[in-house]
Structure 1
Amino acid sequence: MAVEESKSKKRRGGLKETLFLIALGVGAALLLQAFVVRSFYIPSESMENTLRIGDRVSVNKLHGASERGDIVVFTGWNGEDTIKRVIAVGGDKVACCDAKKRITVNGIPLDENYLFPDDFPSGEEFSYTVPQGKLWLMGDHRSASVDSRTHVRQAGEWISEDQVIGRAWAIYWPFSHATILSRPEIFDKVR
């Protein structure tokens, strides 16, 4: 009888330990998602070909200040989570277009090799100085993107650095398109 009682106690102890470890794992995953990383689903063609409809990206919520060239998820103009590329930050002068039809930031032309094939840097001319704490954001598929060009021109609505949820750093789904997202070197020459 004592042997059976001992085996029963061991099974209950093993079950309690297993349940504790499962709860600990779920708790750790929830904390990571709440404070460190997040998944974001790409709902539109505005960031093609860099990001395609249906892609899933991993977003670093501890990214620090946004830099030119970062792809960020932010609370958008309509209150929904949105993803775009940071072209200019507070204090920058962003304009379109120079003689070669390129966007310039602080007078430096951007050769944007990440743009959708045969798309153009902008279908409209603009020139703005980005207010401190704000961002100038654009999609990589410019003709399919409603971004800072539209919202600033029509309503003076800028996206604040505080509205940024995180920086997209990797495409993890589908596996055939999985890659690390890096900041284009063209932004290194902008001061």
Structure 2
Amino acid sequence: MSSSSGAIAGKGGGRLGNVLSGVAVALGCALFLGGFVWGAVVYRPYTVPTNSMQPTVNPGDRVLAQHVSGSDVRRGDVVVFQDDLWDPQPLVKRVVGVGGDVVACCDTQGRLTVDGKPVQEDYLKDSPLNSLTKFSSTVPHGQLFLLGDNRAVSEDSRLHLTDVNHGSVPASDVKARVDGTVWPLGRLGTMDRTPAFDALPGGGASARGPLKLLVVMVIAGAVLIFGGAAYGPLARLRRRK
């Protein structure tokens, strides 16, 4: 009697385990594929063409950039943009001024100023900013003032100060906002948002995109798929023992 009851219990437990493993695999597939599909819709890969953004990103780095409207870009954001007056290929620079800002260089400590307030740019390759030529520019509304983090070599808004837009580019030229680096693997990770512009009216950099959530979805999905798929072989091995 006890042997028969044990067999029935074992079969019932096996059926429940099979159901749960199936649910785990199905949920894992939904998370895994959903993460990739969502990522493909929201993000695009770009290759950084120059060393103007070192040390934030290096030339040849493959970055993931989130599709955003230029009107949603804020000071401190690292963006991919394309302006035919600058270069026919997409470029990567940091936004330091938005419409209405007065961007100037430099104060007595070599710091960039926005609306007369000094900005502590800890992300720069070299500090203080003694490589910058003195200038002052009022950013037209609907435009962005862009500089590279490697100011000594970056070809950016400073070279276009005599243009009709006083060195800025239309916000509509922005293609995406950089959220992380995916290649090389040694630099794999998300991009930190800088607090350098937080004290200015309107605040600093944008909130993070969903990149970390997407990574969690893909990893969790893979764990559930392999865990659910492994249940059957493990259960059979246990019964044989």
Query: If the TM-score is normalised by the length of the shorter chain, which range does it land in?
Result: 0.7 to 0.9
Q: Deviations over 1:69-123 (max 9, x none)?
A: 0000001322321100000100111100111111001111011111113562652
Of 38-47 and 115-124, deviating more is 115-124
Unmatched 5+ stretches in structure 2:
1-32, 202-241
Higher share in helix: 2
Q: 1:121 to 1:91 in 2, by over 3 A?
A: farther
Counterpart Cα distance in 2 of 1:184 and 1:134 = 21
Structure 1 residue 47 corresponds to structure 2 residue 34: no
Report % sequence identity: 37
Secondary structure at 1:166's aligned position in 2? Answer: strand
Q: Give the structure 1 partner of residue 79 of structure 2.
A: 72
Of 55-64 and 179-188, deviating more is 55-64
**Structure 1 residue 147, shift from structure 2 partner:** 0.2
Name the amino acid aligned to 2:184. P
Q: Give the structure 1 partner of residue 20 of structure 2.
A: none
Secondary structure at 2:65's aligned position in 1? Answer: strand
Structure 1 residue 56 corresponds to structure 2 residue 65: no
Counterpart Cα distance in 2 of 1:139 and 1:185 = 17
The answer as to whether partners of 1:93 and 1:128 remain within 8 angstroms in 2 is: yes
Q: Give the structure 2 partner of residue 159 of structure 1.
A: 169
The answer as to whether partners of 2:137 and 2:161 remain within 8 angstroms in 1 is: no
Q: Give the structure 1 partner of residue 152 of structure 2.
A: 143
Alignment of 1:42-191 (within 5 A): 42-62=48-68, 65-76=72-83, 77-118=86-127, 120=129, 122-153=131-162, 156-191=166-201
Alignment of 1:9-28 (within 5 A): none
Name the amino acid aligned to 1:62. V
* Number of residue equivalences: 163
RMSD: 2.2
**Structure 1 residue 169, shift from structure 2 partner:** 0.4
The answer as to whether partners of 1:40 and 1:58 remain within 8 angstroms in 2 is: yes
The answer as to whether partners of 1:119 and 1:143 remain within 8 angstroms in 2 is: no
Q: TM-score, normalised by structure 2?
A: 0.62
Q: TM-score, normalised by structure 1?
A: 0.77
Which structure has more relative contact order (CA 8 Å, sep 6+)? It is 2
Unmatched 5+ stretches in structure 1:
1-24
Name the amino acid aligned to 2:74. E
Larger Rg: 2
